Amino acid sequence: MLMFRRARQQTARITVGSMADRAISRESNLRYIYHSSDINCSNQLRMRKAPFFRLCAIFRERNLLLDNIHTSIDEQVAMFLLVVGHNQRYRTLQPIFRRSIEVISRYFKAVLYAIGELRDEMIRPPSNHCHHKIQESTRFNPYFKVIIFANKYKQSM
């Protein structure tokens, strides 16, 4: 028993230094994504900074997403937007966010559920109205000619 205790005391302890380095690099990556220019934020998240932070504020106000000690709502929404906006796999986001695939998947699903809760306000139902630029353009007209003709035919009846 005494030998076991000595062996246990002599083994090297795991330090948390690598986790601190990971947190620093994660923060610098996040700062680069949504605290730099509007163009960079738009390229990364497919959304400018103002609407991004407004969307995060809506989630925060309605308690659809919660900040916790490990991830902020901004980071959760950024993960979601990178997956959806660039058709990325979770594995490609691992070096950016310094998170495991399981954590990225969990927050992706949470944000997807939160956006689903906003469906009545954010998602418009489809309409049969054709935009006048598409209707008058010769570039799009051959493709939408059947739809335009069908809509005019329905209206005349």
Number of domains in the chain: 2
Which tokens sit at 80? 């979601």
Would you place residue 12 in the very low, low, confident or very high pLDDT band (cuts 50, 70, 90)?
A: low
Residues 90, 108: contact at Cβ < 8 Å?
yes
Same domain, yes or no: 110 and 140:
no
| Structural domain of 116 | 19-122
Same domain, yes or no: 35 and 110:
yes
pLDDT tens-digit map of 139-150: 776 666 555 555
Same domain, yes or no: 99 and 136:
no
Would you place residue 109 in the very low, low, confident or very high pLDDT band (cuts 50, 70, 90)?
A: very high
Residues 118, 57: contact at Cβ < 8 Å?
no
Same domain, yes or no: 70 and 112:
yes
Same domain, yes or no: 52 and 103:
yes
Inside any domain, residue 14 = no
Chain centroid to CA 103: 13
Which tokens sit at 110? 């949470």
Same domain, yes or no: 116 and 104:
yes
Residue 49, pLDDT > 70, answer yes
Q: What is the DSSP string of the chain?
A: -HHHHHHHHHSPPPPSHHHHHHHHHHHHHHHHHHSS-HHHHHHHHSS-HHHHHHHHHHHHHTTSS---SS--HHHHHHHHHHHHHHT--HHHHHHHHT--HHHHHHHHHHHHHHHHHTHHHH-PPP-SPPPHHHHH-TTTHHHHHHHHHHHHHHHH-
Q: What is the pLDDT of residue 155?
A: 59
Question: What is the number of other CB atoms lying within 10 angstroms of the CB of residue 132?
Answer: 8
Helix/strand/coil (H/E/C) assignment for every residue in 44-56: HHCCCHHHHHHHH
Chain centroid to CA 142: 36
Which tokens sit at 144? 């939408």
What's the predicted TM-score (pTM) here?
0.70
Same domain, yes or no: 24 and 70:
yes
Same domain, yes or no: 144 and 114:
no
Same domain, yes or no: 67 and 103:
yes
Inside any domain, residue 141 = yes
Q: What is the pLDDT of residue 23?
A: 83
Same domain, yes or no: 114 and 139:
no
